[in-house]
């Protein structure tokens, strides 16, 4: 299973905004279904950030006291996800 592709397809159709990486993984796993490995998820996130397909997921918004984990596709990531979904 290509978790990076699954991450892009999920990011195209769902909004993930969680208080941390573990909660984001749990939300992703619930949306994607099946059994997924947390390490493989984190590797896929790092690869997608490196390849410019998603934005850095950890964000500290103005006046926030802690970071949030948010899945946001870049324009290139949206284009790749549309190809993957046939949209």
DSSP 34: S
Where residue 27 sits, what CATH number does that domain have? 1.10.10.10
Question: How many domains is the chain built from?
Answer: 1
Average pLDDT, the chain: 91
| pTM of the complete model | 0.87
The domain of 68 spans: 3-85
Instruction: Find all residues with CB under 8 Å of 45, minimum gap 6, and list them.
Output: 7, 54, 57
Q: Which residues in the chain land under pLDDT 50?
A: none
pLDDT of residue 80: 96
Token duo for residue 42:
């984190």
pLDDT of residue 1: 67
């Amino acid at each position: 299973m290509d978790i990076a592709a699954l991450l892009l397809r999920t990011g195209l159709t769902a909004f993930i905004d969680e208080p941390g990486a573990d909660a984001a993984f749990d939300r992703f796993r619930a949306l994607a279904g099946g059994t997924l490995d947390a390490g493989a998820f984190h590797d896929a996130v790092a690869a997608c950030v490196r390849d410019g397909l998603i934005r850095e997921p950890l964000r500290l918004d103005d006046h926030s006291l802690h970071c949030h984990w948010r899945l946001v596709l870049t324009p290139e990531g949206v284009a790749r996800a549309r190809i993957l979904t046939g949209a």
